[in-house]
Amino acid sequence: MRPILYSHPFSSYCQKVLTALYENGTAFDTRMLGPEDPSAYEELCALWPVKRFPMLMDGQKPVFEATIIIEYLQVHYPGPARLIPEDADRAIEVRMLDRFFDNYISTPQQKIVFNAIRPEDQRDAYGVKEARDMLDAAYGWLDRHMETREWAAGGEFSLADCAAAPALFYADWTHRIGERFANVRAYRGRLLARPSFARAVDEARPYRPLFPLGAPDRD
Ligand SMILES: N[C@@H](CCC(=O)N[C@@H](CS)C(=O)NCC(=O)O)C(=O)O
């Protein structure tokens, strides 16, 4: 039996899970969340009323949250790439970095994008300023952190890099990673060159016109 991923190719958190699936060549089926088949979104909402995706269905078992889906895949569908290390201390480092990318890169990035699609009189300029400040602080920390590393948690490509790839991909489109963050820019380049993430990016190309801030002509 293959697990089913409720997913959309242009979604950053779906790309996080897709990167993990492609790293391991895991067999899975997709329930594509799009206007072509509204029943997929109805199923998602029935199982997960917070209506966030991706969601993995393994038989009758729903698994929510991109990080937890990757943890679940490692336990139930292990492959050659161990994305959460066996060593407890190294696993803590990986999970800490995973939280960093979700909370301090993806969350402020999404805030800026969601603000742009609100009605004009409902926009939150103060919140957007806070989100941009957070991104600058996070880029600064990450730039120092990546000075001596190829991958976010050191060592092998991990869950943390699955989180980093779409987070930095869209963050740069939303709040440019400036030249002064050369280590972050180089890391983003390595992530884009990683075949698993490159595949997810390629699959999402047709949807670039949907990016509310306008997708730049690069990457
Ligand atoms: N904490 C969730 C976040 C998932 C999330 O924000 N997904 C976005 C797509 S990238 C979503 O569901 N958006 C739908 C909406 O905002 O209505 C996770 O890690 O999976």
Q: Is residue 52 part of a domain?
A: no
Residue range of the domain that includes 122 = 88-195
Candidate of 52, 98, 210 to mutate for ligand 1, largest count of ligand atoms within 8 Å of Cβ: 52
Q: Is residue 125 part of a domain?
A: yes
The angle formed by the CA atoms of residues 160, 172 and 119, to the nearest 5 degrees, is 110
Contact at 8 Å (CB) between 26 and 77? yes
Ligand 1 atom nearest 69 alpha carbon: 20
Residue type, 84: I
Q: Is residue 126 part of a domain?
A: yes
The pLDDT assigned to 1 comes to 85
Residue with token string 């300023």: 129
Residue type, 39: S
The pTM for the full model equals: 0.98
Contact at 8 Å (CB) between 161 and 191? yes
The string of pLDDT tens digits covering residues 192-209 is 999 999 999 999 999 999
How many angstroms does the Cα of residue 50 sit away from the middle of ligand 1?
Answer: 9
The pLDDT assigned to 154 comes to 87
Q: Is residue 106 part of a domain?
A: yes
Number of domains in the chain: 1
Q: Report how far apart, in Å, the C-alpha atoms of 175 and of each of 32, 134, 156, 172, 178 are.
A: 29, 11, 28, 5, 9
Q: Is residue 131 part of a domain?
A: yes
Q: Is residue 142 part of a domain?
A: yes
The pLDDT assigned to 40 comes to 97
How many angstroms does the Cα of residue 208 sit away from the middle of ligand 1?
Answer: 18
The string of pLDDT tens digits covering residues 28-70 is 999 999 999 999 999 999 999 999 999 999 999 999 999 999 9
Ligand 1 atom nearest 11 alpha carbon: 10
Taking CA atoms only, the protein residue closest to ligand 1 atom 13 is 52
Ligand 1 atom nearest 64 alpha carbon: 20
Q: Is residue 133 part of a domain?
A: yes
Residue with token string 């969350």: 107
Which pLDDT band holds residue 113 (cuts at 50, 70, 90)? very high
Distance CA 72, CA 169 (A): 25
Q: Is residue 74 part of a domain?
A: no
- Residue 122, domain CATH: 1.20.1050.10
Q: Express as a percent the part of the chain with pLDDT over 70.
A: 100
Ligand 1 atom nearest 65 alpha carbon: 20
